[in-house]
Structure 1
């Protein structure tokens, strides 16, 4: 054994513009790292101000307050005798950069700006920051006077450099630089940098947890060394959930990794490794050694400090973990790593996001219109999952979670006993029935509410509907009728939409007053329950009960929600979910026929939820327009003829075009799915289209004609029967429930 080093990566639940809270959490993480014996601590990206400050980065106040926080850190005795780097914005020569600031014992060693900015998905970093493009170059940075008064320094190095201690060399990457094809860790490792720290702001998406694991393992497998990956956790003020998972990796093996989903604000992950293991590993790869001998050098900031202890035998190195993901204890006491299933991710990520939103919005709980269908039931179960996580955290002794839940319920002595009891305290559910509602859906909603413990009411809103229609009749002397009663499509749609919109109005009334009814202070947040597929298709009424304060499932596909409920039923024994899963999806806005449902979602939409997911992924992930989508699906859907595929694609794009305007007012949702149509940030596209797609559809028709001529008897499999009456209608007919833009505005 040579020299062992103990380092710490930190997972912090920061909040944009919360300089006071962010500062406290940073100091707590430094103290915990020091208590664990670490001599080097690294934290997440932009941890001082919060990652999602967005246009606040234009404000000089944001830069000023970041320096003020840094000054407090420099002065704190907690930060003594430890190499520390923190993330903050820094303006150099009138250009703002996303930076890491490394300091030791009241002296700033290096300000290292980000060199590769992230511009995809939900990221828009170049709107506020510029990349540092001067490779292996440093310049003098003139410190603000408030910092000079603490450090005694006037200028410090700013740029692409590394820190050389007495025993090793430390370099930096910032988030996107790890993902970039020309990652900085390769040339740094060739120049003898043995520890590379990455402060990151990587957000959650379903089934993507393996990405950072593979990246850090691959980086250190190829080039050797220790890679420290620190990530944010939680909702810092927007639609994203940052999913933690901070890790320490050595020579292609993960030594330790933090949790993805947790309510703790601060989690410090520590590992000890031997510097000689890095040197031996690198030297054994001869091709790497030959390249390193010819590598260009980085500027080095030399510091008279050692990360290793004097005693060679003081700390034994940690053994690698055997998998990839959250850390658990095996029966034999050894740690292991596992991946969460998508169902587990749905149970935890939106629940953590809801918790942050609830506690930081200073509200007293949630109000959920519970219809007895898959979507609203999923929202309810996610709240229950949140309650379960709260109880577990309190039982583990998390004083911050206990203080937060006491503030929410307005009782300084409250202690959550079990998830069901807590759910009854903070979740109010309500079944809003009409004459078009079935007894079965009402019963399913009541049974689920009883089993998860929510404070539930079943009400009838026909009186309110009649009052609204009475106003219309008084003015126009006309009485609109449903289609089954001989009414026109416009009448039919208007009668459905008035029900849906009244539910939204009633939901907000109850949300504002139900805690007053229960003798508690405050109000409730209204939860939405529209899934990502319905948003993509536009199968919702504008400003109806899909409009809410926040929506835990707005980024999740219908089929994934069904799988989640199956998992949830097994885990918690919620038998009510069985009937909910077996029931066909329905809006229940049209009259019953002989007491039975006559309206089914997939028939109304003219496509299945499974097809919608395919359309969504091709449109967003594969960047397919109508023609390319048709060309791809002709080969993917061999159970359909080219003409059938063409009709499906055309129908989707017609509906997408005439309903795209609804994406501008989607309830803020926890981002989860890679094909989310959220217009506000993730999916920037027009909201006014020529719905005829004349040129595009003509290209499809021409291709269908060619395929027919080339293969007049093209064999195809029999399509599975999903819809009783699939509708692929012309635009003039696409005015079934919740689809027509001329009416739904």
Structure 2
């Protein structure tokens, strides 16, 4: 697999009820379409070789004999096809008829999976013809052209890290689907051969069911249902095709089509395996399996994806849909304000202190504090906002800070730190003209000291402003802006901070405050610790030094969320940002990210309390526990 990716397909062929020759012809066309796109797995509908709606014709020997002949034809057809095929057909065995999925690869039937649960209610009456396969494990069957074929519900088809499991239609609808057990036995790609008729709103339920199962099993789930050419005597089928991965829909067709339909997409098996590795509950559930897997090994000739057409979001922390993004922002604000409210009520404190720079992070922290105080019905004047101009403070950030605090009706204090820093330089014998890390950190620690002391003096809570991206890079001064009494932004990445501030500007404040927030959003990110340029503008731009935050947030997401290697992250970033950054630029900043992430862990080991708002947190008390002296050498 290329970086853990594999392409899979689901298909719905044109069929005629009981016309096996016609059906096989179209099944082969669908397989060829999948092969053309370099797919490695195709799932076709339930009983598609005969058609699902044959009724009492399933009891006719001629139909069953013709079906077996057609399976031999399909095996011959697959000889030179590097694709695993799951196709539906009946199977006669020991005077019983089973509704089965036949798994075919390069001329051979690797295994046959019977349908475990047969619907026999409302419009379904499968038990009239078929025998349920639940509990059938470790069996073998013979066909006229192949002997000792593995038969049962516990089959896992294994090719390296790709583990395929199969269930049939109703199996997914039961309390404990066979796919749940198959996933615990190792299957990370599950196929469902289905014949699900259409009723009002049934497609929504079906879609949610598949999404939820893929999330619960931490798998890719490929679903194929019978199409419109099934009998419409009493029911209509739509040919619904879906491919889901870990709770999200990757690909879905438009239903009720009247031609051969194949959908294909790339699934990230490495991501799924990483999710399972982290999830202790998943591992603990394995002991609940009532049987062991029967593993059938096979080998693909190649894993060439042909072209990488999987959608990659440049900003994985930020929903691309505007409505969803607004809902996410509202949810995050509720989490942040609820967390701060709990801390204030627990400590019986009704004052807060926030250092305001005119930058994004302190702005977000202030907005959260204001909303929390409003919720608790505490006067905004109890929020002490402090702006502390220094050597690099520009008029733009200063004015924005002052105007924001005044318009939000907080108590504003201004304390210039220049004299105090000059005295400190003198005390430690540091040349004022030497603009090194000491020069910068003196200012950050002086500001934190002022804020801490004001909080003590006023009996208030010092609210931290640093965000998740800065913590990942260690872009904070240890025991300076690194420290606070409660940190409301600690698990909000920089790319999301922007949208949160913009959300407030658009939805929750007056027009005047909105204008200030928009200007803050348009101001370059900077700690403003180096002197201004000759025109009085910011001379120290963070992203010129550490790299673009949109890249670092992308790196952070895949490194923490998926445990991805540098090679995979680089590949993904190249795909996602191909229209913005070249490979050398991405590689340079990725190396910078890895080095800083490892060497700055000691700062994360001493984080103040703060709420987790998303799937990634670097709190040493929660998600991320890492030794401060770990080496980055193996990771770059």
Q: TM-score, normalised by structure 1?
A: 0.40
Q: TM-score, normalised by structure 2?
A: 0.47
